[in-house]
Structure 1
């Protein structure tokens, strides 16, 4: 199973989702490939936001070695599932889809809403982490059933 998490800058939400899902999958003995990318290229090559690193560390998840990358159409060939954090990411990723098969790989990370971007609000990193962790638990249950 190969899963790509996508947000805007690839420094807050998608690195958390990448790290949490990889951590949980490893704990369950699942040999999944998890990665993340951004639809914007401002932070390419940079590590995750220090606040994302801190909240992940608080729960035993190390995301410090991740590096931001820009979403490219070739990712449709590489990943089975592409999960996006909000409607803008969804639109931006779908705009690069080349086929219906590509489009079918793209889903919202949360089926019933968006993951808010905590970048401008220090107090949102903890709630965002909790939201992501809960959804990653569900994802594992759902994908293992398939």
Structure 2
């Protein structure tokens, strides 16, 4: 699946305006700092925000940490299963939705939960901060920074094997 030698990751949440574009921006920044050959994208299981920038609050909170979120929302497509090496979802509802979209069992094996990469949080999913205050966005960013660092570490370990 590696295109041009790059490992490809797709992050998925519901609307592609909070959690997945934040994971996208964080992972791009981590990969760039580490010189990793990783290509990142994000999508939502719901297409109602198609073409929109991330939620303004989600752009402000990561900006304070040095991340710029410029991705435009899009809906996940069946061809994403061919294009990406990993599809990382933010919660169980989206995990199930993405599984239903997978064209085969082999493609479904690419789907993972972000929570598996953020054990320190003690949470079973990355919560949607859309209806939360400032603290909700900060919590999600803390989880995504931990998760992206651990995911990138797993990719590095695999590429050395």
What corresponds to 2:57 in structure 1?
Answer: 51
Alignment pair present for 1:86 and 2:91: yes
What corresponds to 1:70 in structure 2?
Answer: 75
CA deviations on 1:103-126 (whole Å, 9 max, x unpaired) are: 100011111620000000123001
Question: Structure 2 matches for 1:1-146, cutoff 5 A?
Answer: 1-63=7-69, 65-111=70-116, 113-122=124-133, 123-146=135-158
CA deviations on 1:5-38 (whole Å, 9 max, x unpaired) are: 0000000000000000110011000121100000
Tell me which of the two structures has the higher relative contact order, counting C-alpha pairs closer than 8 angstroms and 6 or more residues apart. Answer: 1
Runs (4+) of structure 1 exceeding 3 A deviation are none
The gaps in structure 2 that reach 5 residues or longer are: 1-6
Task: Please give the alpha-carbon distance, in whole angstroms, between the structure 2 residues aligned to 1:59 and 1:66.
Answer: 17
Query: Root-mean-square deviation (CA), in Å?
Result: 0.8
TM value normalised by structure 1: 0.97
Alignment coverage as a number of residue pairs: 145
Task: Please give the alpha-carbon distance, in whole angstroms, between the structure 2 residues aligned to 1:140 and 1:74.
Answer: 23
The gaps in structure 1 that reach 5 residues or longer are: none
CA deviations on 1:58-108 (whole Å, 9 max, x unpaired) are: 111111x21000011110011000000000100000001111111100011
Higher helix fraction: Structure 1 or Structure 2?
2
